[in-house]
Structure 1
Amino acid sequence: MTHTSLADTLKTRTNAHRYLTTGFTELTALGWHEPTPAGASAGQALSVVIPARNTAFALPTVLDAISAQQHAAAVEVILVDDASTDSTFDVARRHPAVTTAVRLADRRGSAAARNVGARLAQSPTILFVDADMVLPSHVFADVAARAAADTVLTGFRHNVRYQSSPCGGPLLPDGPPLLAADHRVTWKPPVGQVLPYSGITLTDELDGRPLDATDDFQNLGYGRSYYDWDLPRMAVTALLAVPREQLVDVGGFAEEFGALGWGMEDTHLGAALIAAGCLVIPLRQTVGYHLDPPDAAAQWQSKLAGWPRTLAHYRHLLALPAPGGHGRAFATTTDKHLTDAEVITR
């Protein structure tokens, strides 16, 4: 019996989402890309899952911003500490924004940490937020008001070099984070070098605009690409909302990526959810400050060293059938992680 590969399944999936965004505006009189009044999220539920590993330098600021969210939704915040060696878990279990704090007994990787959070989540929509992402106050309302069972909603990030403020926390720029700071929005690739994801080499300078040039990612449907970008790469878990039922059915994040190196588990999840029929829709107003760690240069060097291995594994998974029907395996794996974990629930 032959099976259609994940890569071939992606070629059959559209990303024409305009009917959803215009329908939302017609129903609510709110623009899809406008910050959302708190009341517009009334009656909705949201599970926020934060994987964390040695992020005490940023976490108080991140959680303070979560406490300042203005919404009317039922929100739970689940932070999963991946066996940090700093004070990350102490910060999490004491902060009032966190409703459930989990400390894994052994380091499992960010994919496993997110899966554990998803296992504990009670809401139909899970918003993944990195432990170094500082969010504007309207983000929870933006997501809760627009989430649906077949949509992947992606926000954006404005990277900020670490600087310590006089009070000891990270120093944030004045004003709101900028959409154009995200590489999916403004992209200037190198010339004359092989781009490792696609394997193409650009011979001329390019002022790349992935978000605009693809009509909010719609033109990336059916497996199409924009130079080095395709639709699964737009699913970045620094700030990403997914339907919990679909996430569980595809088996969550593939945890083996963590043993190979850094990255690609979010791209693979994006591919799996797209293959399952989800649309990937950007929220241009949903941009957070992504705080670099104090040792950012060393961390990036270490992460990039492992990226060829994770990319090769992703290519391998693309050749396999699209995942589905993995809910029981997902529960078994995550429950095993929780067996010796410390869980504190308010």
Structure 2
Amino acid sequence: MAVTLTLAEALAARPNDHRSLRADFEKASGLSWHAPTPAALAAGHALSVVVPARNTAHSMRPVLDALATQNTHGSVEIIVVDDASTDSTADIAEAHPAVDMLIRLRDPGGAATARNVGTALASAGTIVYLDADMVIGPHVLADMAARSRPDTVLLGFRHNVRYTPGLDGSAQIPTRSPDLAADHRVTWRSNGGKQLYTGVVLDGPTTGRPLDETDDFQKLGHGVTYLDWDLPRTVVTALLAVPREKVVNVGGFDPTFGRIGWGMEDTHLGAALIASGCLVVPLRQCVGFHLDPPDADAQWETKLAGWPNTLAYYRMLLDGPVPSGRAGAFHAHTEQLLADAEVITR
């Protein structure tokens, strides 16, 4: 009789040793895993970039400008899913020449729903999820394309910057390069006490370095934790490349997260992909500027207030079955959303 594992049990059974994967790439390409990639190395590797957007007019133009100037010989399609914005987000996307497809959802469903819609329409085998406030360097898509595999989740990183408006109201991009250490998966700080995610208790103020001290997250395999981190929590959709077939098979992002609070839908997707056999591999050279909105402090306060709800829901899902064989439900759900949406293609 087959034993049915819970999602948590499946995570405990999965390693994250990606040394051979990286070595194979370096031997075949003559390039370091963490080195910026020449455009030619991405040839033959198609990407679909899915950008969920809601009321991100402050950042939409610089994000799309950065996508328009990617230095890659690989095929790239840009799909923007506007989650019923009430500002000029959709108008900016529709006018921008980098955008191949714009979907306007009638009702807001949250980032999980927007990403699912974009994934359903994507044509490439690899999806890059990019937030509508993330400005990436010109080599990033080539980096991800050249390293993409059907069993690999590739992590990019983000450097938050405060909103400074330009002449057109768009956020200004710093002239310096983004700093890898600015990402919370690289430099993590806590005031101490009981941590909300894992429940670990820290004696006092603590600074951790998850990326370095877990050997590029390899030591987080088998459900191991480091301070307030485990492997699924490293999967952040601000900048992330994933195999489309695997995402569809696990049912995509669970839209319930967006209805009950903020966050955790990417952590849950990470858990599902890890349980399905994917390795989680960071790309240290893939760092983008995350452009804060004008009301960043108020938005952050609202997000944190909703996080306990989504965390509790995630914990419940960990005690449930491993998501698998859910492609039919995924397509049925996204087709229903698309029936009420406006789809604009070039």
Normalising to structure 2: TM-score of the pair?
Answer: 0.98
* Percent identity between the two aligned chains: 59
Equivalent residue for 2:258?
Answer: 258
Structure 1 residue 130 displacement after superposition: 0.1
Equivalent residue for 2:170?
Answer: 169
Secondary structure of 2:259's counterpart equals helix
Alignment of 1:158-307 (within 5 A): 158-191=159-192, 193-307=193-307
Q: Which amino acid aligns with 1:79?
A: V
Greater displacement, 172-181 / 49-58: 172-181
Aligned length: 345
Equivalent residue for 1:330?
Answer: 330
* Distance of 1:141 and 1:104 partners within structure 2: 30
Q: Which amino acid aligns with 1:274?
A: I
Contact 2:116 2:252 in 1 (8 A): yes
Contact 2:57 2:170 in 1 (8 A): no
User: What are structure 1's unaligned runs of at least 5 residues?
Assistant: none
* Distance of 2:196 and 2:8 partners within structure 1: 18
The answer as to 2:71 corresponding to 1:62 is no
Structure 1 residue 205 displacement after superposition: 3.5
* Distance of 1:163 and 1:184 partners within structure 2: 25
Deviations 1:168-208 (A, max 9, x none): 321222221000000100112112x2210011221144331
* Distance of 1:253 and 1:139 partners within structure 2: 24
Q: Which amino acid aligns with 1:159?
A: N
Alignment of 1:103-182 (within 5 A): 103-182=104-183
Q: Which amino acid aligns with 2:264?
A: M
* Distance of 2:24 and 2:122 partners within structure 1: 28
* Distance of 2:124 and 2:90 partners within structure 1: 23
* Distance of 2:211 and 2:36 partners within structure 1: 19
Equivalent residue for 2:31?
Answer: 30
* Distance of 1:330 and 1:251 partners within structure 2: 5
* Distance of 2:6 and 2:51 partners within structure 1: 31
Secondary structure of 2:188's counterpart equals coil
* Distance of 1:253 and 1:292 partners within structure 2: 24
Q: Which amino acid aligns with 1:290?
A: H
* Distance of 2:189 and 2:302 partners within structure 1: 23
* Distance of 1:109 and 1:204 partners within structure 2: 36
Deviations 1:95-137 (A, max 9, x none): 0110000000111111000000000000000000000000000
Secondary structure of 2:251's counterpart equals coil
Q: Which amino acid aligns with 2:103?
A: V
* Distance of 1:284 and 1:183 partners within structure 2: 13
Q: Which amino acid aligns with 1:185?
A: V
Structure 1 residue 40 displacement after superposition: 0.6
Q: Which amino acid aligns with 2:253?
A: F
* Distance of 1:137 and 1:305 partners within structure 2: 36
Structure 1 residue 225 displacement after superposition: 0.7
Contact 2:39 2:73 in 1 (8 A): yes
Q: Which amino acid aligns with 1:78?
A: I
Structure 1 residue 340 displacement after superposition: 1.0
User: What are structure 2's unaligned runs of at least 5 residues?
Assistant: none
Greater displacement, 163-172 / 175-184: 163-172
Equivalent residue for 2:309?
Answer: 309
* Distance of 2:328 and 2:92 partners within structure 1: 33
Greater displacement, 81-90 / 200-209: 200-209
Equivalent residue for 1:14?
Answer: 15
* Distance of 1:35 and 1:317 partners within structure 2: 37
Equivalent residue for 2:53?
Answer: 52
* Distance of 1:205 and 1:55 partners within structure 2: 34
Normalising to structure 1: TM-score of the pair?
Answer: 0.98
Structure 1 residue 166 displacement after superposition: 4.1
